[in-house]
Chain A
Amino acid sequence: MNTIQAALRGLCEHSEVGGAAVVTPDGLVAASELVEGLAADVVAGLASYLMVSADRSLGEGHYGACERLTIEAERGKVVLVALADSYLVVLLNALTSGQGPNAAIDAVAARLRGAARLS
């Protein structure tokens, strides 16, 4: 098991995390730990499109890049974190409240950034 996969698996052990993936800006899956019923390539395509369009909108207003995007929806939450040249996508269950597993997500993001630098 490589570093990325191990980091994602560790994150998914958190009770509020329903799945996680690392995706590239062009919508490819680098690694994923998703529940049955969620296709990794679909999540990757949607997540990369979302982050790229957020970056484009922010760029037009000269705001700078989006480092993190959080969506709270009716049936769950999603956190997308920009890594060096990829995105960490974390799906949280609907019962997550407040900050939830943010510290765990930050730790994994930092670990993945480190892993990217080493490789």
Chain B
Amino acid sequence: MHLLQRMKAWRELRRLEPLAASRPCPETFCALGRLYLDLGLYDKAVDLAEAGVEQFSRSIELRGLLGDARQGQLAIRVEALRAELTRSPNPAVFAALADAHAESEDFDALRELCRGWRAQSPDDAGSWLALGQAHLAIFCRCFTANDGHDALECLSRAVDLAPDAPTPRRLLGEHLYRIGAVSDALCHLHVLRELTPDDEDLAQLLGYVSELPRDSGDVDALLRAVERRGSWIHPGSVEERRHEACPVAAAQACLSALVARDGVIKATLIRGSKAAVSGVIAGGRDPFLKLVRASAKAAHGFARRLGMGRAAKTTLEGEFGRVCICVYGDALAAAQVRSGADVAGVLEALQDLVLDAAGEEVAAS
């Protein structure tokens, strides 16, 4: 930002700050927060976004602002840690920087860092643990067998280097049983039980895994099966197990409630290749789903190219009525409504749907 732009931004800041205090609404908070980001005032942006999210918890724009502001803070932290690493390269700084790279999802930087970490301290399990966690995070998102394999390999190396460290062994045990390698997982969990006899969560987990059906032992085949299936073989935490017992139930109920509103013809919640639908809709091949995906993508590209950030809500109008689309993270919800229907109310309901879906798997219906 050059000098004139900065001066203009500061002037706008003086106008918006009192406005946000006197007229607190998501639009004002977002405009002010984005200005803070432009000026590099990340701490102020985080404080404002947190206050905004507290007041307007269902605003996807404010959640987006909070995410961007935290990324800004993280970028500053990364720079500071890099400088510290140059001054004194020790395992604690390596670990902190690896955490920061993982948090900002900069996996290339993380790989590069771990290479340097290993060269510096070849017997330190930390670099393998950090890399294993990164591969695990990627695997959890797309379930590609290669990432699953890399995660297992890195975590196994971390366990070999630090056999008494509970974290890598627990991650390895959990990863193994969730892909269906129950026998291998049990070996690690039993060792872990001996290392941490007072861990009640572990005792519960061990009880749960012991009751799972035993596998063939071919981990690569199991990883390929997970890739084909697109999800874990066995759910993880207690909370997750509860969700996976009825994956679409919550979304489906919300979609049905939405379609029951006056003027709503059909509604959908899409996440990746999977969609839950309700209303006058002909299953997964309905052109409505393609329309929603294509329009959301085109609107996103348009907004990005014009420097307007992510497109959160898009509405198409015509003789067909209106198609309202709401996007948050990798989830998008949409509804077709008749002209004259309560569009603001529908967009709010769609916003709730994508917010709920952001932390929940959506199965095909």
- Known A58-B318, A74-B308; 7 more pairs at CB < 8 Å: A68-B315, A68-B317, A71-B299, A73-B309, A75-B309, A76-B308, A93-B31
How far apart are the CA atoms of A72 and B316 in the complex, in Å? 12
Cβ-defined contact, A95 with B27, below 8 A: yes
Confirm or deny: B312 has a beta carbon within 8 angstroms of a beta carbon on chain A.
yes
In the complex, which residues of chain B have a beta carbon less than 8 angstroms from the beta carbon of A50? 298-299, 302
How far apart are the CA atoms of A78 and B313 in the complex, in Å? 11
Cβ-defined contact, B290 with A73, below 8 A: no
B297-333 contacts to A (CB < 8 Å): 298-299, 301-303, 305-320, 323
Q: List 25 A-B contacts (CB under 8 A).
A: A50-B298, A50-B299, A54-B316, A57-B287, A57-B290, A57-B295, A58-B318, A60-B291, A62-B287, A63-B291, A63-B318, A65-B318, A66-B317, A66-B318, A67-B318, A68-B316, A69-B314, A69-B315, A69-B316, A70-B314, A72-B314, A74-B30, A75-B307, A78-B306, A93-B31
Distance in Å: Cβ of A73 to nearest Cβ of chain B:
4
Distance in Å: Cβ of B106 to nearest Cβ of chain A:
22
Confirm or deny: A110 has a beta carbon within 8 angstroms of a beta carbon on chain B.
no
How far apart are the CA atoms of A71 and B300 in the complex, in Å? 9
A52-99 contacts to B (CB < 8 Å): 53-54, 57-58, 60-76, 78, 91, 93-98
Residue tally, chain A, CB below 8 Å to B: 36
How far apart are the CA atoms of A104 and B346 in the complex, in Å? 24
In the complex, which residues of chain A have a beta carbon less than 8 angstroms from the beta carbon of B315? 68-70
Nearest first, the 10 A-B pairs at minimum CB distance are: A74-B309, A61-B287, A73-B308, A73-B303, A72-B313, A68-B317, A94-B31, A63-B320, A57-B294, A70-B315
Interface size class on chain B is 35 or more
User: Which A residues contact B (CB, under 8 angstroms)?
Assistant: 38, 42-43, 46-47, 49-50, 53-54, 57-58, 60-76, 78, 91, 93-98
Cβ-defined contact, A60 with B31, below 8 A: no
Confirm or deny: B25 has a beta carbon within 8 angstroms of a beta carbon on chain A.
yes
> With A50-B298, A53-B298, A72-B311 known to touch, is A64 a contact of B320 (CB < 8 Å)?
yes
Distance in Å: Cβ of A66 to nearest Cβ of chain B:
5
How far apart are the CA atoms of A46 and B307 in the complex, in Å? 12
Q: Which of A47, A66, A91, A94 contacts B34 (CB 8 A)?
A: A94
Confirm or deny: B147 has a beta carbon within 8 angstroms of a beta carbon on chain A.
no
Confirm or deny: B288 has a beta carbon within 8 angstroms of a beta carbon on chain A.
yes
Confirm or deny: B65 has a beta carbon within 8 angstroms of a beta carbon on chain A.
yes
Cβ-defined contact, A75 with B308, below 8 A: yes
Distance in Å: Cβ of B273 to nearest Cβ of chain A:
18
Distance in Å: Cβ of B227 to nearest Cβ of chain A:
30
Instruction: Encode B167-196 as 1/0 by CB contact (under 8 A) with A.
Output: 000000000000000000000000000000
In the complex, which residues of chain B have a beta carbon less than 8 angstroms from the beta carbon of A71? 299, 302-303, 308, 311, 313-314
Cβ-defined contact, B295 with A78, below 8 A: no
Cβ-defined contact, B306 with A46, below 8 A: yes
Instruction: Encode B52-75 as 1/0 by CB contact (under 8 A) with A.
Output: 000000000100110000000000
How far apart are the CA atoms of A91 and B92 in the complex, in Å? 49
Q: Which of A64, A76, A96 contacts B318 (CB 8 A)?
A: A64
How far apart are the CA atoms of A8 and B139 in the complex, in Å? 51
Cβ-defined contact, B288 with A78, below 8 A: no
Confirm or deny: B28 has a beta carbon within 8 angstroms of a beta carbon on chain A.
yes
How far apart are the CA atoms of A95 and B315 in the complex, in Å? 18
How far apart are the CA atoms of A75 and B315 in the complex, in Å? 17
Instruction: Encode B328-365 as 1/0 by CB contact (under 8 A) with A.
Output: 00000000000000001000000000000000000000
In the complex, which residues of chain B have a beta carbon less than 8 angstroms from the beta carbon of A38? 306
Q: Identify the closest chain B residue to A38 (Cβ).
A: B306
> With A69-B315, A73-B303, A98-B344 known to touch, is A57 a contact of B310 (CB < 8 Å)?
no
Q: Identify the closest chain B residue to A68 (Cβ).
A: B317
How far apart are the CA atoms of A40 and B302 in the complex, in Å? 14
Cβ-defined contact, B291 with A74, below 8 A: no
> With A74-B34, A94-B27, A95-B27 known to touch, is A43 a contact of B287 (CB < 8 Å)?
no
In the complex, which residues of chain B have a beta carbon less than 8 angstroms from the beta carbon of A60? 287, 290-291
Distance in Å: Cβ of B37 to nearest Cβ of chain A:
10
In the complex, which residues of chain A have a beta carbon less than 8 angstroms from the beta carbon of B313? 70-72
